[in-house]
Amino acid sequence: MQKQTPETVTIHVEKDFKIGEVDQRLFSSFAEHMGRSIYTGIYEPGHPAADAKGFRTDVLELVRELNLSHVRYPGGNFLSGYDWKDGIGPKEARPRRLDLAWKSIESNQVGIDEFYDWSRLAGIQIMGGVNMGTGSPKDAAELVEYCNYPGGTAWSDRRIQNGHKDPMGISLWCIGNEMDGPWQIGHLDAIDYGKKAREAAKMMKWVDDSIEVVVCGSSNAEISTFPEWDRQVLEYTYDEADYLSMHRYFENEGNDLDFLASFKDMDQFISTLVATVDYVKAVKRSKKTIGLSFDEWNVWYQKRQTPHDWMEAPELIEDRYTLLDALSFSGMCMALLNHADRVKIACLAQLVNVIAPILTERGGRAIRQTIFYPFQLFSKHGRGTALRPVVHTPLLETRHGDAEQLYTSAVLHEDGTLSLFCLNIGETALQAELDLRSFGSVKLCAHTRLSGEDLNAVNTFDNPFAVVPQQIPVSEKPAARFSERIPARSFSVFSFAPSETL
Ligand code: AHR
């Protein structure tokens, strides 16, 4: 039963309580050669909306709405068995291969050249990946040469021959994927991986000293090697590495509150890795600080997986997201903002069809899933300086420990406007008393809210707008304090502007 008078929470946002600058790369995603992510996702020659190169323009339009910085490519588990040389040159001569990671057939009709063309059309930069499973440091350095070296060498000339006269300038590279996981093709222990990654990074940076590299950290927080894996890998790679990767997926295991409090788990995972990274820094007496690359995160119902053996572009892990999923997801976006000082890169895994904000029909329509909207709001309102709000809120007991019923994050933008994100995970509404005195007199110019009666609602091809954020009418009165009702189980973004600029 809803309480008649909502409990009061106080939120004090102070312009000098800075966490740090939000890196543009926090708004990145991931496209793996897996299932229908590439084939019939972004690329489908013959589709009515396909352009001359076979890219789906309907999907491109939706991708552009997310205003992504980078897209991680080409994997994922796929990366650890992938030979990038299979994906270049005349398409008809490219080999069809067994992809052992996902038990699928890889046609190699899309490779680095095609994906680079797609990324230009989408206005996104590529975060490349090199294979540390079956691949060698030499293959990794040759890929950097192919992509980034101007010309006059065997691999750079092959790129020119394949239609890209100018270097691609891929400046960020993952050295392998989830190498801590026994499921990974060519899985290594931390020391063997650390040594191999160090040599690969050295050679890649010798080819192009402007690149930054991400070494594999833990693939989840439950794996028994966490966080010792991270410490050991950094012990071997600290001088060459720029970022340590981390991956985490969440699912509703039957308790909605626990699931909505996933931000708490994410927060603890980040804090543990920050401590681990800084411990190695201290041991090494290093002046360099390693950042975190949260390059896979999302809601993923791993227990619902169905195997599809040896098919081309099978329907793999195409989760349909509910409103509840989108609410939990919004808390994850906020946890990233609340660690903006150390998490410099974050990739929503993935982008199209495979646990994705965008869903397509083969030969048919493309829609926005529920999680599309909180990501879009995060990408639109999350850029600037992250601030730490001081909040007095009820705490709710969850399996992640006591969690704030009202979870918040705030970002001050260059133009002086302020965005305040609020997630109410409880079953009761709250009355938020906002204190914004340090900003002087401001106006609430917009309030966008994601909520609804049916937490299980999903967007479908026939009913694509069942779950969309609503614009809530706002009072235009300039003030320094505001009182706003935050409904149960809702996510809100408030936008404030200095009143003199209005
Ligand atoms: O995103 C799906 C898979 O999840 C990726 O291939 C892998 O890196 C992770 O385990």
| Residue pLDDT, tens place only, 67-94 | 999 999 999 999 999 999 999 999 999 9
Task: Work out the angle between the directed axes of helices 372-381 and 57-65 (0-180°, nearest 10).
Answer: 50
pLDDT tens figures, 12-31: 999 999 999 999 999 999 99
Active site residue 92: no
pLDDT tens figures, 161-178: 999 999 999 999 999 999
Nearest CA to ligand 1 atom 7: 76
Mutate to test the pocket of ligand 1, among 106, 175, 296 (most ligand atoms within 8 A of CB): 296
pLDDT tens figures, 353-369: 999 999 999 999 999 99
| Position 502 confidence tier, pLDDT thresholds 50, 70, 90 | very low
Question: What tokens were used for 2?
Answer: 């809803």
Quote the ligand 1 centre to 181 CA distance (angstroms). 11
Contact (Cβ atoms closer than 8 angstroms) between residue 104 and residue 312: yes
Q: From the CA of 34, give the closest atom in ligand 1.
A: 6
| Position 4 confidence tier, pLDDT thresholds 50, 70, 90 | low
Distance, in Å, from the CA atom of 4 to the CA atom of 261, rounded to the nearest integer, reads 24
Angle at 404 between CA 401 and CA 408, to 5 degrees: 135
Contact (Cβ atoms closer than 8 angstroms) between residue 421 and residue 410: yes
| Arithmetic mean of pLDDT, 424-441 | 96
The residues near 285 (Cβ < 8 Å, ≥ 6 apart) are none
0.85 surpassed by pTM: yes
Distances (CA, A) of 32 to 129, 174, 318, 350: 10, 13, 13, 8
Distance, in Å, from the CA atom of 110 to the CA atom of 88, rounded to the nearest integer, reads 8
Up-side HSE of residue 183: CA atoms within 13 Å toward CB? 11
Distance, in Å, from the CA atom of 446 to the CA atom of 439, rounded to the nearest integer, reads 17
Distance, in Å, from the CA atom of 39 to the CA atom of 45, rounded to the nearest integer, reads 9
Residues having CB closer than 6 A to ligand 1 are: 32, 75-77, 177-178, 296, 349-350
Active site residue 222: no
pLDDT tens figures, 471-480: 999 987 899 9
